[in-house]
Amino acid sequence: MLIRSLRLTWGVLGLLLSGCVVSAQSTPVRIMSLGDSITGSPGCWRALLWRKLQTAGITNTKFVGSLPSPGCGFTYDGANEGHGGIQATGIVQRRELPGNKGPTEILAAFGTMVDWMRESKKDMKILVAQIIPINPANCRQCGDRVVALNKAIPAWTASKNSTDSPITVVDCWTGFDTARDTGDGVHPNNAGNEKIANCWFEPLRRAIQG
């Protein structure tokens, strides 16, 4: 099963992915977090999310990916694919494109990646985030681009949905405040990490146990 979320880069608009691949049939359930720096470096919301799963008694998980867990104050299962600055359009075209892509192009790239993921595992579950707001000092338009992307996600998700490989939209936008929950307008601080862990927990729990 695959769980992913989207991220926008700052500066130029880009799209980052963050997500988790989980394999429902196998034990443990494999989960891949796929995304950019908000996902990966340090991405301590993943540590908090892992701890919430443990606390809830959900221990049949294995987080997978080529990147190690950065220090988040305690030991956790933190393998991931959170690559700083990564863009969906760049992945699809095998190179990083300049940013400033609109939701249509970004989601088309996401669609291609969903097809690839289903080729690797036809019944993977996919969780896509409506991403946290951003307000970087060097990109005043980026906030509106996130709004536009998040708005386009439900229809795109429904169009790519399937019974074998269901897609769930995860709302990480609501309640997140760039002034309170980030240090730089983009990357979550401790309060922001808590909010991101919270937005993922229930959808992830359902995906693992469902």
Q: Would you tell me which residues interact with ligand NAG (CB under 6 A)?
A: 157-158, 161, 163, 166-167, 169
Residue 164 CB, shortest distance to ligand NAG, in Å, is 8
Name the 3-class secondary structure at 197: helix
Residue 29 CB, shortest distance to ligand NAG, in Å, is 18
Contacting residues for 107 by C-beta, under 8 A, at least 6 apart: 149, 152, 153, 156
* Residue with Cβ nearer ligand NAG (25 or 163): 163
Other Cβ atoms less than 10 A from the Cβ of 6: the count is 28
* Residue with Cβ nearer ligand NAG (33 or 168): 168
Residue 23 CB, shortest distance to ligand NAG, in Å, is 18
Rounded CA Rg of the chain = 16
Pair 47, 40: CB distance under 8 Å: no
Among 48, 47, 31, which Cα is nearest to 204's?
31
* Residue with Cβ nearer ligand NAG (156 or 201): 156
C-alpha 170/C-alpha 184 separation (Å) is 23
* Residue with Cβ nearer ligand NAG (126 or 132): 126
Count the alpha carbons within 13 Å of 186 in the hemisphere toward its beta carbon. Answer: 22
Residue number with the smallest Cβ distance to ligand NAG: 161
* Residue with Cβ nearer ligand NAG (172 or 186): 172
C-alpha 83/C-alpha 122 separation (Å) is 25
Residue 140 CB, shortest distance to ligand NAG, in Å, is 31
Residue 131 CB, shortest distance to ligand NAG, in Å, is 16
